[in-house]
Structure 1
Amino acid sequence: MKFKNIYILIISFMLLVFSGCTDGFEDLNTDKNNASEDATNPVYQLTRAQLEYSGNSDFSFEVWRVNIIYAGMMMQHLASTSWYSGDKYQQNNAFSSAYFDVAYNDQVKYVVDLIELTKDKPQYANLYQIGRIMRVMIFHRITDIYGDVPYSEAGLGYIGRKFTPSYDTQEFIYLNMLEELEQAAAALDLNGDRPGLNDLIYGAKPDVISKWKKLAYSLMLRLSMRLTKVKEDIAKQYAEKAFAGGVFTSNEDNAYIVHDATGGRNTVNRNSNILGGEWNATDFGVTDPTKYKNEVFLSKTFIDYLKNNNDPRLQYTAVIKKTGSSNPADQVGLPNGLDTNKGDTDVTSDPNYPGDLAGYSTIRGDVFLSLTGPTFFITYAQTELLLAEAKQRGFAVGAESAEQHYNNGVRAAMEQYAQYNSVATIPALTIQNYLTAHPYNGSYEQINTQYWVASFMDWYETWANWRRSGFPALVPVNYTGNATNGQIPRRMLYPATEASVNAENYSRALDRQGANNFMTRVWWDQ
């Protein structure tokens, strides 16, 4: 995967070349007919779309504010006694709308440009289909976070003069995304053009096109299972199509990019930069207690689950800040919903309070917080766990039993730790002993609780699957002044600016979907 790092070095230059893409609305592509392969290499748009999707938009407020501050805390992987709003379901309009703001300015713009530059050009036939798959990756996360959003007219300001795009219903978006994946996967030509090193996910691998096919079908499986609460017939139809088409079969298929620290904010791993790098919310590597920020810890819910089940991932996930111990027996999770205000919810009220905040567990930085570490998008472990549920529901997804898919998923999730850092390699015998001690019991709760563990660091996905499945059965907190009456939020908030710059379409979305608040459920979460 080192070639990905080499290419990312080029992004610093690319950012200068394309710096006008979000600011110079009228200047960029004024004569789009000249945006040919001779003047513009469209594969660079793929590079930018992938990098932006991983969170590399300057200081990456969408990663910090939605992935970490809200979703990571709400899903009780993380906990905080400070200003991280998601820990206590407090409303911060800027934080909750950050993903919408950033995704449309950067991710959507580049992927739509990619599609427009490659459409109907035989020399870019595969690149066009990859662009369609990448577009689905981008929009599925946006709609999961907000519900009804601009989709069919999004990103067409330059090309189609659509400056006030309509909001499509999430039902329309999902059904269209499934169709897009089906068409794109079928159209990929194993003998056709290849994006090369400019593709930060699969790069110059000899089987890059077949891997993109697998990615498309694995993403189709994820989207199909998102519909189990509202359209189980459609969920079944597309889950079976996905399996028949060919989903991920090992961790070698995982869709992720490896970052590079030499390009600063624009190329480093953004979760790592916030949690253990430039901002260092976990105080990774800080030895002077007077310099602690004491912002991000691991939740008691998460630590207790791993600890009570003797999960071998615990020693590679958690560390006691004060002592540096990663011994599972030493780990103490911080309960969600506490503060340092010396009242009833003060952290000292925790029966397991270790004497000071530095006595709680936080993320093990040498495993998860490298600035050159990977950002995972879709994994084999997630895919196998979704297949386990699909099989348990009676969907026709192959000859393997739900138990076999479940075991494959848990094993892959544990083996995936080595892709973060080889120091976190979990021996095969240890994994098998865990599976023997925790046999498959046929419940959706068991499958989706493992999905919750397997999606650590990708809290967008953790939150979405929890809303869809209801598992794990998290106990919400009811902190004074919270915005949800003590319930875990079901969506984030549209930006307030939408009410003025796109007022008519925004109003229609609210009339159709419901109030712009945390408890209005998106379509597939009804």
Structure 2
Amino acid sequence: MKQYRFKTTIIVAMSICCAVLFASCTGNFEELNTHPTNPDPTKDMTEAERVGTLIPSMLYLMHNFQENQNQMIEQMVGGQYGGYFATTNNWQGTNFGTFNPPANWVEYPFNTLFTKFYSNYLTIKDVTEGKGYVFSWVNIIRVAVMLRVVDTYGPIPYSKMGGGQFAVEYDSVEDVYHKMIDDLDESINALTVFLEENKGKKIPIAEFDLIYDGDFSKWVRFANSLKFRMAVRIANVDTDYAKEVMTKAIAAGVIESNGDNAFLPTSDNPYYKASNDWGDLAMNAMMSAYMNGYNDPRRSVYMLKTADDVYRGVRIGIPNINKGIYGTAQYSKPAFKKDSPLLVYCAAETFFLKAEAALQGWIPGGTSQSKIYYEQGITTSMEQHGVAIGTYLSGTTSATRYNDPNGNVNAPSFSSITVSWDNGSATTTMKLEKIITQKWLANYPLGFEAWADHRRTGYPQMITAQSNLSSANSIGSITNSKTRLVRRLPYPVSEYSGNTQNVEAAVANLLGGADTGATDLWWARKN
């Protein structure tokens, strides 16, 4: 049985108007301030419930549920650049997969994640006066959402956000990471105290927690896991600091059980809708090439077979792609169902983070312990998806060559990495590739995590885009596109018009290159 967590109550509507909701709250501010920040379960919690109604829409920014937001962010950007999906609609010849998206597409993730989050966050901060368990919880969500923004664009406004203004100064990527980790530490400490003081008490706002049903001990584990993820991301460029963060996060408790996995419920899964109802989404050719080569038992969980009874994805970057061909049953669609939940974090990722950290000497254990973590990660993922692992750990085959029955979009062999850790005399570099490749498979469909890992390590090795249509008029020229792909998204036009001085200062002083898709982020730069 798959280890997914569903919330059986009706999903809270995402279209609540904050201004209307809180217009009548100012007359009883003292009571309002008491309940969310220092709740007494014996008292009426109406105001806390009003705060709670803002939280579900914030949670869904960790993995977008709304169909258009999911398509524009998770599918088009993370899904393609992370190697999970290929979009099959030609959209008048524009596509992230061919590196020529229109400007309004490029700004969509920023405007959606950033603006929609802070509109609710600022309200909750005002109501709670920036303290208490609700605010601590919301700050964990803030880090999870803003991590997606900073990893997509680079420097962003962070430390100055919270005063009610959106046009504020930017922070460097390094400073954003440090400040986010500090925020997680504060939330972890506050929630730990709250849990100790409220043992056995019912927390009414828990009904708005669509992931853990108000179990804040699991939110503490989630926060520590985010810290661990972030520390590994920056360890090549900020090693001593990252090692300290890793050590503390692991000691405090990270997610290592599938029972603690973080999922968001859906009743109308957007991947299902895009692939089955619209014909706009197929599996990436990379997924079928790796999983076929490994005879991966998760294939049937991840993707559907084609009409000719094989697993076959679609290569990204096909110019003017024909949905009438590539959106049909000739190619594998994602195997999501209408009520499949959306992954936010899984225990398998923790083991792969540990495997990389041990291999690189960031935590104790070395290569021998790295192997143990690596195999734990694979085993945990198989258990999560309810499939038998069989002889997978000893597999000595590599990714298959991708052949497309329609058109000249085949791909050359691209990776010789096998599953078996001890296959031949694997070097440290080869072992790192094994870790990241298996982490990529386990983290499906978290495209933004996969894209970050590829930019940081070069792994998993990817089937590159068929065509590179990038230009200065879109996201800039993407050179060396066969190995590097897009490195970031340029800042929105709306930032240049509404926050002009600050975004221009960020590009000049913090970004480390031109505001194009070819500029590496701080943590992706090689020494």
Q: TM-score, normalised by structure 1?
A: 0.79
> Which residue of the other structure, out of 507, 510, 515, is the alignment partner of 1:510?
507
Name the stretch that deviates more: 164-173 or 100-109. 100-109
What percentage of residue pairs aligned between the two structures are identical? 24
Contact between 1:333 and 1:360, CA under 8 Å: does it hold in 2? no
- Partner-residue secondary structure (3-state), 2:304: strand
* Cα distance per residue 1:3-48 (max 9 Å; x no partner): 724141xx23x73453768xx9xx7988895753477323333333
Residue 319 to residue 269, structure 1, CA distance change in 2 (3 Å): closer
Q: Aligned equivalents of 2:494 and 2:27: distance in 1?
A: 30
Alignment match, 1:435: 393
Q: Aligned equivalents of 2:487 and 2:244: distance in 1?
A: 26
Contact between 2:62 and 2:141, CA under 8 Å: does it hold in 1? no
Alignment match, 2:294: 309
> Which residue of the other structure, out of 55, 60, 66, is the alignment partner of 1:51?
60
- Partner-residue secondary structure (3-state), 1:481: coil
AA paired with 2:196? N
Residue 118 to residue 338, structure 1, CA distance change in 2 (3 Å): same
Q: Aligned equivalents of 2:326 and 2:63: distance in 1?
A: 34
Q: Aligned equivalents of 2:508 and 2:179: distance in 1?
A: 22
Structure 1 regions of 5+ residues with no counterpart?
A: 262-267, 284-294, 349-354, 418-424
Q: Aligned equivalents of 2:441 and 2:326: distance in 1?
A: 27
Contact between 2:454 and 2:460, CA under 8 Å: does it hold in 1? yes
* Cα distance per residue 1:97-125 (max 9 Å; x no partner): 1111111222233234334433466xxx3
Alignment match, 1:264: none
Q: Aligned equivalents of 1:7 and 1:357: distance in 2?
A: 32
Q: Aligned equivalents of 2:16 and 2:135: distance in 1?
A: 25
Residue 150 to residue 272, structure 1, CA distance change in 2 (3 Å): farther
Q: Aligned equivalents of 2:7 and 2:365: distance in 1?
A: 34
Q: Aligned equivalents of 1:5 and 1:72: distance in 2?
A: 28
- Partner-residue secondary structure (3-state), 2:178: helix
- Partner-residue secondary structure (3-state), 2:343: strand
1:191 corresponds to 2:172: no
Q: Aligned equivalents of 1:80 and 1:209: distance in 2?
A: 38
Contact between 2:207 and 2:213, CA under 8 Å: does it hold in 1? yes
Alignment match, 1:149: 156
Q: Aligned equivalents of 1:275 and 1:100: distance in 2?
A: 25
Q: TM-score, normalised by structure 2?
A: 0.79
Alignment match, 2:175: 172
Give the drift of 1:82: 3.8
> Which residue of the other structure, out of 280, 283, 294, is the alignment partner of 1:298?
283
1:254 corresponds to 2:261: yes
* Cα distance per residue 1:36-78 (max 9 Å; x no partner): 3477323333333113433245x543x2123211222223322
Residue 495 to residue 235, structure 1, CA distance change in 2 (3 Å): same
AA paired with 1:191? E
> Which residue of the other structure, out of 378, 381, 399, is the alignment partner of 1:410?
378
Contact between 1:338 and 1:347, CA under 8 Å: does it hold in 2? no
- Partner-residue secondary structure (3-state), 1:86: coil
Alignment match, 2:274: 274
Q: Could you list the structure 1 runs, at least 4 aligned residues long, displaced by more than 6 angstroms after superposition.
A: 27-32
Alignment match, 1:106: 116
- Partner-residue secondary structure (3-state), 2:344: strand
Give the drift of 1:516: 2.1
1:375 corresponds to 2:342: yes
Alignment match, 1:489: 486
AA paired with 1:504? Q
Contact between 1:301 and 1:335, CA under 8 Å: does it hold in 2? yes
1:466 corresponds to 2:471: no
Q: Aligned equivalents of 2:16 and 2:239: distance in 1?
A: 47
Q: Aligned equivalents of 1:412 and 1:144: distance in 2?
A: 27
AA paired with 1:525? A
What is the root-mean-square deviation of aligned Cα atoms in Å? 3.0
- Partner-residue secondary structure (3-state), 1:152: coil
Structure 2 regions of 5+ residues with no counterpart?
A: 36-44, 396-418, 423-427, 472-477
AA paired with 2:348? A
- Partner-residue secondary structure (3-state), 1:79: strand
Q: Aligned equivalents of 1:495 and 1:384: distance in 2?
A: 36
Name the stretch that deviates more: 144-153 or 512-521. 512-521
Alignment match, 1:519: 518
> Which residue of the other structure, out of 362, 387, 394, is the alignment partner of 1:426?
387
Q: Aligned equivalents of 1:387 and 1:43: distance in 2?
A: 35
